[in-house]
């Protein structure tokens, strides 16, 4: 409970949800009390309210989550140079040989957990084990504000009794198939004939069998995961029927994509645009360019061309912009065909980025959005909210 709020959203039935008026009305994250009403991530807010009439719904604030996530990572890096950022709400930390500096891993995990709570104002769960799989499973055992171990000798007691759907990589499609085979717990899966699983689920069957037995060997990577592309899309709050309005949405999406591209220190040489009409039929087109760029205006110009090539004068309800063929920003090249000064445009993009990162995404916006009825950066940046959880090795 912060900033004058009357209730702590973590302690009441609450969800972070999309904007129902703009057709984004789904549950993005839920509190533990909401989970007890069997509310699930991804279901509609209408359905969630049917289960819990007094449900509190709040909008997402992605930039706040990024700020909190960055602050958490700074604390984690004080205890190990090997920290892998797995998502905005989850990290892996390799504690190998660090005990000689900080002591017992369980004791240190509690210190970290308490520091995050006291210094940053939110709670985390920390799981400890010999690999990333078991550490993540340990972190999910009981919430909130807890430290759990899940070493190999603890698997039969702590992990095997759990429902099989709780195992990583057993999703909504796989769980019913396992149930049909008489597999209802993780222990059932661990004791199942792996050849039977492979015959029914191919290579995925062996993977989840290995996971159920705690077998997983990936290392904690302290490098940025290789990105093959950066994209953003939005379901429009109304059917778009004219090119001018479509371009406003494309500009909003492009601003977000280009900002993320620059933030990652990358440039792109391939731009793609996708649209979905009111009948849910999708079209897409991409274009390879002969130079690398991170310029908002350059990407936007190409995106407009692509839209013109695929749009069939049908009402549009979904638009997307994506860039790929990424390279390091220092390898960027200048186009001979741009009509604007590339040096000035790069400085302008940088200045806008800095203002938005410091003061928020709405601190500065293009005049084109002023009377358009369309919010600048309407596509968001995967604006999702999850309780922070850190898995520690």
Domain assignment present for residue 221? The answer is no
Angstrom distance (rounded) from CA 236 to CA 23: 7
Count of structural domains within the chain: 3
Domain membership flag for residue 91: no
Which is catalytic among the residues 20, 21, 90, 216?
A: 90
Q: Would you state the pLDDT for residue 337?
A: 52
Give the range of the structural domain holding residue 35, as residue numbers without chain letter. 9-58
Last residue of a domain, one of 39, 58, 77: 58
Active-site annotation holds for 90: yes
Looking at the domain assignment, is residue 381 inside a domain? no
- Residues 235 and 207 occupy one common structural domain: no
Can you tell me the distance from the alpha carbon of 187 to that of 157, in angstroms, rounded to the nearest whole number?
Answer: 10
Within-domain flag for 372: no
The verdict on residue 384 lying in a domain is no
* Predicted confidence (pLDDT) at residue 332 exceeds the cutoff of 70: no
* Statement to judge: residues 198 and 261 lie in one domain: no
Residue 294 near residue 258, CB atoms below 8 Å: yes
Q: What is the pTM of this model?
A: 0.57
Domain assignment present for 255: yes
Q: What is the pLDDT of residues 213-228, one digit of tens each?
A: 999 999 888 755 566 7
What digits encode the pLDDT tens for the residues 273-325? 999 988 878 899 999 998 899 999 999 999 999 999 999 999 998 899 999 98
CA distance to 7, 64, 260, per residue, from 383 (Å): 22, 10, 13
pLDDT > 60? residue 385: no
Same domain (yes/no): 184, 269: no
Residues 329 and 270 in one domain: yes
3-class secondary structure, 68: helix
The CATH number linked to 207 is 1.10.150.20
Tell me, what's the pLDDT at 382?
Answer: 33
Q: Which of 36, 57, 59 is nearest to 45 (CA)?
A: 57
Q: Where are the alpha helices (DSSP H) in 82-131?
A: 99-102, 105-115
In whole angstroms, what is the distance from residue 136 CA to residue 127 CA? 6
Six token digits for residue 136: 């993540």
Domain membership of residue 50 (yes or no) is: yes
For residues 179 and 263, membership in a common domain is answered with no
Do 247 and 333 share a domain, yes or no? yes
Confidence category of residue 49, pLDDT binned at 50, 70, 90: very high
- Answer yes or no: is 100 within a domain: no
Average pLDDT over residues 374-387: 37
Confidence of residue 234 (pLDDT cuts 50, 70, 90): confident
Beta strands in 3-89 (DSSP E): 14-17, 27-30, 56-58, 83-87
- Please determine, for residue 92, whether its predicted confidence score (pLDDT) is greater than 90: yes
* CATH number of residue 264's parent domain: 3.30.1490.100
Among residues 113, 118, 106, the alpha carbon closest in space to that of 91 is found at 113
Q: Quick one: residue 30, left, alpha or beta (phi over 0 = left, psi -120 to 50 = alpha)?
A: beta
């Amino acid at each position: 409970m912060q900033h004058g709020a009357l209730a702590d959203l973590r302690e009441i039935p609450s969800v972070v949800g999309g904007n129902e008026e703009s057709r984004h009305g789904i549950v993005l994250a839920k509190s533990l009390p909401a989970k007890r009403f069997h509310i699930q991530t991804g279901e509609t807010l209408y359905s969630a309210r049917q289960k819990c009439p007094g449900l509190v719904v709040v909008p997402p604030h992605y930039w706040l989550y990024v700020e909190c996530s960055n602050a958490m990572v700074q604390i984690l890096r004080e205890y190990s140079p090997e920290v892998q950022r797995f998502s905005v709400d989850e990290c892996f930390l390799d504690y190998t040989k660090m005990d000689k500096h900080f002591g017992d891993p369980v004791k240190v995990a509690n210190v970290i957990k308490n520091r995050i709570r006291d210094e940053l104002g939110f709670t985390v769960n920390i799981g400890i084990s010999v690999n990333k799989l078991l550490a993540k499973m340990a972190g999910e055992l009981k919430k909130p504000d807890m430290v759990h171990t899940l070493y190999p000798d603890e698997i039969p007691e702590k992990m095997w009794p759990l429902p099989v759907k709780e195992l990583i990589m057993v999703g909504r499609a796989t769980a019913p198939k396992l149930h049909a085979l008489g597999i209802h717990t993780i222990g059932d899966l661990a004791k199942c004939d792996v050849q039977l699983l492979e015959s029914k689920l191919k290579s995925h069957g062996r993977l989840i069998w290995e996971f159920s037995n705690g077998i997983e060997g990936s290392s904690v990577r302290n490098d940025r995961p290789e990105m093959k592309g950066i994209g953003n899309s939005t379901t429009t709050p109304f059917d778009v029927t004219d090119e001018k309005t479509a371009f406003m949405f494309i500009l909003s999406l492009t601003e977000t994509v280009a900002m993320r591209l620059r933030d990652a220190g990358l440039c792109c040489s391939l731009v793609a645009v996708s649209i979905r009409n009111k009948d849910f039929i999708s079209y897409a087109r991409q274009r390879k360019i002969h130079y690398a760029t991170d310029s908002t205006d350059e990407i936007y110009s190409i995106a407009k061309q692509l839209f013109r090539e695929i749009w069939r004068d049908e009402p549009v309800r979904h638009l997307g912009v994506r860039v790929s063929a990424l390279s390091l920003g220092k390898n960027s090249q200048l186009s001979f065909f741009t009509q604007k000064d590339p040096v000035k445009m790069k400085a302008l993009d940088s200045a806008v980025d800095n203002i938005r990162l410091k003061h928020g995404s709405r601190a500065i916006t293009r005049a084109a959005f002023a009377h358009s009825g369309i919010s600048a950066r309407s596509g968001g940046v995967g604006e999702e909210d999850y309780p922070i959880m850190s898995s520690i090795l």
